[in-house]
Amino acid sequence: MSPRLLLCVVLAVHHGTRPCAGFNIDERFPVVKQGPTKGSFFGFSVALHQQTDRKYLLLAGAPKEKAALKNVNETGAVYSCPITTDATDCSRMDLVSTSKRDACVSDVGPRFVVEC
């Protein structure tokens, strides 16, 4: 291998790899949650939320979830899940408002964000 080719390979490997930060995932006792609706993309985004010093919740997004209101399509939903071994104990958070018609509404979808 020529020195020039070796230099190109070393530079490509050096610049092609990025450092990453990992975190501990419990493989023996995983917390698995399921959404109530198939096709809602439940778990598209997940966040760990600390309510108090010792109480944590998982917040799971479902951007294609259907709205509870009859005249609205796929508003998406956010589910609050306690950290337990029960896969079906998530509850939908009530984030849809039935306020005035001219009120500002933000929309967050799987590919875009629309803000007023």
Q: Are 62 and 46 in contact (CB under 8 A)?
A: no
Say if 84 falls within a structural domain: yes
Q: Does a structural domain hold residue 63?
A: yes
* Rounded CA separation 108/105 (Å): 10
Task: Please tell me the number of Cα atoms within 13 Å of 79 on its side-chain side.
Answer: 26
The single-letter code of the amino acid at 87 is A
Q: Does residue 110 sit within a domain?
A: yes
Q: What tens digit of pLDDT does each residue of 45-99 get?
A: 998 888 888 888 999 999 988 876 667 777 788 999 998 889 999 999 987 666 6
Answer whether residue 81 is part of any domain. Answer: yes
Q: Using one digit for the tens of pLDDT, what is the confidence trace for 100-115?
A: 655 555 555 555 555 5
Rounded distance between C-alpha atoms, residue 27 and residue 44, angstroms: 21
Domain carrying residue 76: 30-115
14 occurs within a structural domain: no
| Number of domains the chain is built from | 1
* Total-model pTM: 0.60
What is the model's pLDDT at position 61?
Answer: 93
For residue 105, the model assigns a pLDDT of 53
pLDDT for residue 100? 60
